[in-house]
Chains A and B, each alone.
Chain A
Amino acid sequence: MKYVIALTVALLLGACGDKSASVVATEEVIATAAQEQVRGFVFSKWEYDIPDNAPECPEGLNITDEEFFPDEYAAVREEVKAHRGGRPEGATELLPVDACKDPGAMPDPGFKLFEGNVATVGLDLDGVNSTTAAGGQCAHNDFTSADGRAGIDYQYWRLMGCVSGMRPGGLYDRLFDTNNTILENGYSTLLEMKLTSGTPTDGKVEMRLFTSAGPVTRDANGKVVPDMSQLVHEDTMFHSAISRRDQGWVLTAGPVDAKMKFKVQAIDKLLLLPRPAHRANLLADGSMDGVLAGYWDGENIFDFMTEVYIGPVHLGRSAANNLGYQCAGLYHAIPRVADGHPDPKTGKCTSVSTVILFSAVPAFIIMPEPGRVSLGSE
């Protein structure tokens, strides 16, 4: 992944300056926005952090249901063939129980996790350079970033690093290259930065995430048009986290969790990211590259991956076969890599540290209530 982190959020907010007054519609809104130093961005791209240099998995990649149950799938194929290519009624009943619908109904078939290190661009979410050797609650091995930062928490890669569809050049990589999750979607993710106190260089910063109520606008090159107005989704469910800058460039989450709407292969997904963290790099053209990291709720990961519907038809197993894993294996593997949000009763972790890379361009964020905007740029 070509990804550059150079500047700080402080620089980003410092760039607001007097320009903020030049881009708002009314004097009243100008005064409010200038006082609050609010800047808005819209995601122009997002993707998982799939390290280009990820080493091979020594024990090979995970296998699919189709490979695990070859005889059953062969029987279905024969049945389909007998019906001249049509899907005969009840053919799927020849298959084993669908663990993507009912993950507890099948014993753990095993799941290969990614071992070793790879350079990622995530964040140190827990402030500790964790190792399994050191033990402790939800012990795990952190990664080291390409720029030498240790303690990077990215257990989601441990989980998915040996799934063919998540490997470099795999299905997800190709999917994200098309960027149709942003460009052909009915909504995008909005990011609002707000200076709440002090100066842009050392003051308190808040960040909020929203799902937009409409699609991005593309230019003639298929890129997202900057400084377009984006209305926030009126459902407050999608008015997400408030992050505060405690120190330096990392914004860590406040008490509110992020709920973001994403679309993957035409399927709407709800991504729950409790207490997200964020770092960003403001580029010369006013756009932003950033990392959104946090502990992804384990149950939501499974749902995100397997709740695939086209109309009433549940296609989670087809999706798993395409990506290269078994739902039952994934279900049982998630607790093994979980490194966040320990259950107070059991002590077992329930969420998985993850990293989402994003690019964003300046945008005017229009809140559903009148008179509230975040500034883009001119």
Chain B
Amino acid sequence: MPNVFTVLIAAAVLLLGGCGNSDTSVTGGPLAMRRLTPEQYHNAIEDTFGTAVEVAGRFEPDSRRDGLNALGASLVAVTPSGFEQYEAIARNIAAQVTSPELRSGILPCQPAAADAADDACTAQVINTFGRTLLRRPLAAEDVDARVAAGAQTAAAQQDFYAGLQLALTSLLVSPEFLFRVEAGEPAPQPEQPHRLQLTDLSMASKLSYFLWNRGPDAALLAAAERGELAQPEGLAREVDRMLASEHLAAGVSAFFEDVFLFDQFDNLNKDVTQYPMFNTHMAADAREQTLRFVVDQLVVQQADYRSLFTARELPMTRSLGPVYGLPVRAAEGWEAATLPPGQPRAGLLSHASFAMLFAHPGRSSPTLRGVFLREALLCQSIPEAPADVDFTQFVQDVTAVHNTARDRLEVHATQVSCKNCHVLTDPIGLGLENFDGIGKFRTAENDAPIDVSGEFDGRAFTSPAELGQAFADNPQLTACLVQNLYRYAVGRKQTSGERPLLRHLEDAFAERGYQVPALMREIATSEAFRTATASAPQEQTAERTATSRDNTTNANAPTTVVASTNASSTASRSDAL
């Protein structure tokens, strides 16, 4: 017998369908459970305690799957050593929050006596910060256990703040903080017996991390608690509010940082004998330049996504000026610059970030650049090189016949074992050979002129700017963006059942002039985004609970299904606190 939520969802589906806002026929894939990325962790600490508290320590590395760390985050657990790191970071944060220097500006209350337990104050602190950290209102048992532990320590050490530190540390190592756990409620439809509807609080977190790359703010949590996110109008209102927020820039930036593989900047090194002007400051600026450029184009100017590949405006710093051959007035910070028209440099493909990231330490790499462009921007798969490749054929050689990368890579076009893949990557990578291993423009290599002409999927080009235009005109570019953004939003690959939705999103993206915020809205308000398909019984981990964590919005729902986790060790360690 259908419950009230099934009816509500059905109504919402009908409403959204009537507005043309989503594909009503598609239910989302399985629930996801994602570990916070380091940036999301930092954001959570900032949102909870303010900017004075520093996050000191190293996190376990992200795991990239199918091109995105956002997908890897759904598959990773926390290792014992990783948990020790989390715990050390948590203790350090708790120590800062309760330190004499900061506590008066952060804590919502003061203890009656500093040398004794104060359960009321501890409870107030846990309730206040726990709501932000766990992204939900706390139940009594969430608070009571931590208050009790804090009181015990405070009494033993005759120090209220020592007890509070322990209670705060417990919050900060909670699996519900370290992981974004999606929970769904059964909302079956006749043709979809395993259909789940995300709980309002899960929906709030999913929205905020998708659009802002940070946890829900007070207004979003309140809307979730009022049940508004289950209503199409309420959901649309909150999505529109979030899209208008200044936090959208960080959300868009986080997505493209993931797509562009910019986490690899953390390990980027160059041979300074080849590139003496390169330094880590320049690399950091190059990374930030591209992300600022993307945000300016897509969020501030609401530009067509394809314009990223042709735009000549870009933010500039003094350290990047020599790379681009541009004057920069500001000695510190960023200023707007424009690449002169008629020049071969234009758009994303000519950014220093891509040139330095997809290159070898001592030279450029048409192949690495080509692989990146095909895989990240066109969502095509390029197989790994065979294990028995003789790389000595490609090393830099200043003989007359191997002066340029094009000369050196001729073997790719002649050896059958290489040709099948490199015919896809090398021509477009060679089209960017005007940019050396750090992105500085050049017209010759080893005194031989560089030929950047080529063909990209049937379209000839003679300069990097023309290659950028060819990318902008390629329909696979926008289709890939849709796929990547949807995967990023839901934290997993699309299921076969979601393919119609992606086609719908591609159409909607085109109708909205390829505006990325509009596409984000389309995804966030889609049926698939707020529903899920329960996995087969033998695969799913279902908790049948009293639904206390979500009882304000779903008091009548008897069950809650949560995403499965590998983090049992984390949970047990956390509970031990």
Binding site for B on A (CB under 8 A): 21-27, 29-30, 214, 217, 219-221, 223, 225-229, 231, 364, 366, 370, 373, 375-378
Interface flags for B276-319 (1: CB within 8 Å of A; 0: not) read 11110000000000000000000000000000000000001011
B441 contacts A378, C-beta separation under 8 Å: yes
User: Closest Cβ of chain A: how far from B330's Cβ, in Å?
Assistant: 9
Q: Which residues of B247-276 have CB atoms within 8 Å of chain A's CB atoms?
A: 272-273, 276
Complex CA–CA separation, A139 to B316 (angstroms): 56
Q: Which residue of B lies closest to A227 (CB)?
A: B322
Contacts A214-B331, A220-B276, A220-B279 hold; do A26 and B338 have CB atoms under 8 A apart?
yes
**In the bound complex, do residue A24 and residue B327 qualify as a contact, i.e. CB atoms below 8 Å apart?**
yes
CA distance A22 to B341 in the complex (A): 8
Contact of B331 among A23, A225, A231 (CB under 8 A): A231
Known: A22-B441, A25-B338. 15 other contacts (CB 8 A): A21-B342, A23-B325, A27-B338, A29-B327, A217-B318, A220-B272, A221-B272, A221-B276, A223-B276, A229-B318, A229-B321, A231-B331, A364-B321, A366-B328, A376-B325
Whether the pair B327, A376 counts as a contact (CB closer than 8 A) is yes
Q: Chain A's nearest CB lies how many Å from the CB of B350?
A: 12
CB under 8 Å from chain A, chain B span 335-352: 337-338, 340-343
Q: Is the CB of A226 within 8 A of B327?
A: no
Can you name 10 A-B residue pairings with CB atoms under 8 Å?
Answer: A21-B340, A23-B340, A24-B326, A25-B327, A27-B340, A219-B272, A220-B272, A221-B273, A221-B276, A373-B327
Cβ contact within 8 Å between B325 and A30: no
Task: Give the most central of A23, A30, A375, A377: most B CB within 10 Å.
Answer: A23
Q: Are A364 and B338 in contact (CB under 8 A)?
A: no
A229 in contact with B325 (CB, 8 Å):
no
Closest chain-B Cβ to A280's Cβ sits at a distance in Å of 21
By secondary structure, the A interface counts as: loop
Q: Which of chain B's residues 400-452 have a Cβ closer than 8 Å to chain A?
A: 441
Instruction: Tell me the bound Cα distance from A30 to B341 in angstroms.
Output: 10
Point out the residues of chain A lying under 8 angstroms from B342, CB to CB: 21
Q: Are the CB atoms of A228 and B321 closer together than 8 Å?
A: yes
Q: Is the CB of A27 within 8 A of B327?
A: no
CA distance A66 to B272 in the complex (A): 48
Q: How near does chain B come to A107, taking the closest CB pair, in angstroms?
A: 51
Q: Which residue of B has the minimal Cβ distance to A374?
A: B327
Query: Does chain A have a CB within 8 A of B329?
Result: yes
A25 contacts across to B, CB distance below 8 A: 316, 326-328, 337-338
Decide: A370 and B329 in contact? CB cutoff 8 A: yes
A227 and B321 within 8 A (CB): yes
State whether A23 touches B326 (Cβ < 8 A).
yes
Which of chain B's residues have a CB closer than 8 A to the CB of A23?
325-327, 340
List B contacts of A370 (CB < 8 A). 329
Chain A residue nearest to B321 (CB atoms) is: A229
Residues of chain B touching chain A, judged by Cβ–Cβ distance below 8 Å, are 272-273, 276-279, 316, 318-319, 321-322, 325-329, 331, 337-338, 340-343, 441
A225-B278 Cα distance, complex, nearest whole Å: 10
Instruction: Tell me the bound Cα distance from A227 to B441 in angstroms.
Output: 12
List residues of chain B with CB within 8 A of the CB of A220: 272, 276-279
CB distance from B522 to the nearest CB of A (A): 37
Which residues of B have CB within 8 Å of A223?
276
> Across the interface, which residues of B come within 8 angstroms of A217, CB to CB?
318-319
B277 and A229 contact, CB distance less than 8 A: no
Q: Is the CB of A378 within 8 A of B340?
A: no
How far is A219 from B321 in the complex, measured between Cα atoms in Å?
A: 14
- Who on chain A is nearest to B335 by CB? A25
Give the Cβ gap from A97 to chain B, nearest Cβ, in Å: 46
- Measured in the bound complex, the distance between the Cα atoms of B326 and A26 in whole Å is 10
Report how far A24 CA is from B345 CA in the complex, Å: 13
Residue of B nearest to A226 (CB): B322
Of A22, A225, A375, the residue contacting B322 (CB under 8 A) is A225
| Chain B residues, CB < 8 A from A24 | 326-327, 340
Interface-centre pick from B278, B316, B326, B441 (highest chain A CB count, 10 A): B326
Residues of A within 8 A of B277 (CB): 219-220, 225
Q: Which residue of B lies closest to A213 (CB)?
A: B331
Shortest A353–chain B CB gap in Å is 36
Contact A219 B276 (CB under 8 A): yes
Report chain A residues within 8 Å CB of B325: 22-23, 227, 376-378
Evaluate contact between B329 and A229: CB separation under 8 angstroms.
Answer: yes
Given known contacts A30-B340, A366-B329, A376-B325, A228 and B318 CB-to-CB distance under 8 angstroms = yes
Given the complex of chains A and B, what is the CA–CA distance between A131 and B36 in angstroms? 84
| List of A residues within 8 angstroms of B328 by Cβ | 25, 229, 364, 366
Q: Which residues of B contact A228 (CB under 8 A)?
A: 318, 321-322
Q: A231 to chain B: which residues have CB within 8 Å?
A: 329, 331
Shortest Cβ distance from A26 into B: residue:
B338
Q: For A214, A223, A227, A229, which residue has the most chain B Cβ atoms within 10 angstroms?
A: A229
CB-nearest residue of chain B to A221: B276
Shortest C-beta distance, A225 to chain B (Å), equals 5
The reply to whether A27 and B341 form a contact with Cβ atoms under 8 Å apart is yes
